[in-house]
Amino acid sequence: MTRNDYLTNPTVKDFIEWLSGNLDNTTIRHQYLNRQSKTLWYCDSLADAYSVYQWQHPAIERLQVPAGKTAVSNDVALSALKADLQKALALAPAVNDGACCQAAIDVMIWGGVQSNNVAWLNMNLRGLAATLSATRDAIDAGVTDVPILQAKDLRFNAGMTKVYSLVCKDFVIYDSRVAAALGWGVVMYCKVRQLKTVPETLAFPWAPAKETGKHFVKSRNPSEGKLRFPRLKAGSHHAEWNMKASWILSSVVAHPNAAASAFLANDGTNVDPLRRLEAALFMIGYDLWNHPEEGQGSTQQFEPDLSWIDCCTPTRRKPFRYKLTDEGFSVEGGPYFPVGVVNKTLGNLQRTFGIQPFPLANKADDVRNGDSAEGIGTAYHHATNGRGNIPDTSKLAAILEDLGVFTVNHSTKLWALNADLLATNVDGQPDIAPVILRTMDEDTIS
């Protein structure tokens, strides 16, 4: 389908007109209980939702971006990441793969979606810039069913939507929160127009929230009665609906109805109107259940996104799977890395190397006999008081790299600590717990 064919569809045109006319009034109002802060969040309109936007993001020291959580601080971060990605894509082929990989990893860290995505970027380093460029060009061409966007190996998920939103023209981030809010708006539209089913052209797929499983789940499924929406699938399905969502939302902010909207107002921040609308939907889509007094969600809605994460060891590329828990990293079939041990390991590395690179250095006999160079293996050995299985650090290193805590130099095969990402606990040790929480759950907007 082409952009023109989609936007000239009568139902799509009518939805754009309806949504563009309801950006600032109380038609689209919402409330929910924020799980982390235990406070009630509410908005009186889409524009109001943007005015209270929050997303806690870490600093990006190499781009001179400070940490923050406001719409403005996030726009500064995204602008820097966008410039960095575009610069990397413009470099000569001999160097742009590494630059693109680092830029994309920083995007994943900004969005809290680094698990599995960082590992994929590092494993697909060769040819990465060409892949990003070709996919970008296909998206910008405005046709959903071209071969590259229909390929079975197309990498398109909650992480890659963030990357492509920075390199494609008028392309929004289509994650579970934006998808939820957009579908919720379609339900409102259907009720107003007295439609008994969701039109095929507006059936925006939804995805479940990331959850820790310790509380009522957040609802991201906008389906209501016979107004049903399909589940989002990674790959071409995600790319197609990301394109359609972008076409609709960019048309909404360009519609004459939106001319006087706060989304287009000159507030001195220079945040793009399309990004503002995306941010408003992101805030609303945190949880579609809007009756805090009745308790959040229900056990029937429990569809946690806590599946095993594919990974592989750094040297021998042995595949394994891991899962994040509140207390540490659980590897399928063992071992288990508790937060305390991980923090002590990171503390040992920080004291020995600071931000300088370090090796794996995990030959068991050499480490135990004191013949090994300092590295991850020796740091873990000391953290476990000599009781840990030293070769297990191959998996620990892979997990920490996947989470963005370790940055890898592809030429030297050495790692370094990502100081931007790590907090410090009461003992002065690096603390992995906030990284785990941010990656597991999205309750970090408070």
Query: How many C-beta neighbours within 10 Å does residue 406 have?
Result: 24
Position 420 scores a pLDDT of: 85
pLDDT at 305 over 60: no
Tokens representing 427 are 């003992």
Query: How many C-beta neighbours within 10 Å does residue 304 have?
Result: 13
Contacts of 177 (CB under 8 A, 6+ apart): 209, 220, 281, 282, 283, 284, 285, 286, 442
- Residue 328 CA to residue 337 CA, distance in Å, equals 6
Identify the helix (H) or strand (E) that includes residue 118. Answer: helix 117-123
pLDDT tens-digit readout, 320-358 = 999 999 899 999 999 999 999 999 999 999 999 999 999
Contacts of 158 (CB under 8 A, 6+ apart): 111, 113, 175, 176, 207
At residue 281 the predicted structure's pLDDT band, cuts being 50, 70 and 90, is very high
Which range, of 39-43, 277-281, 332-336, 436-440, averages the lowest pLDDT? 436-440
Who wins on pLDDT, 363 or 428?
363
pLDDT at 443 over 80: no
- Residue 245 CA to residue 173 CA, distance in Å, equals 9
pLDDT tens-digit readout, 164-214 = 999 999 999 999 999 999 999 999 999 999 999 999 999 999 999 876 555
Position 216 scores a pLDDT of: 67
Position 209 scores a pLDDT of: 87
Q: What is the value of pTM for the model shown?
A: 0.92
Who wins on pLDDT, 296 or 225?
225
Position 294 scores a pLDDT of: 47
Contacts of 163 (CB under 8 A, 6+ apart): 85, 104, 107, 108, 132
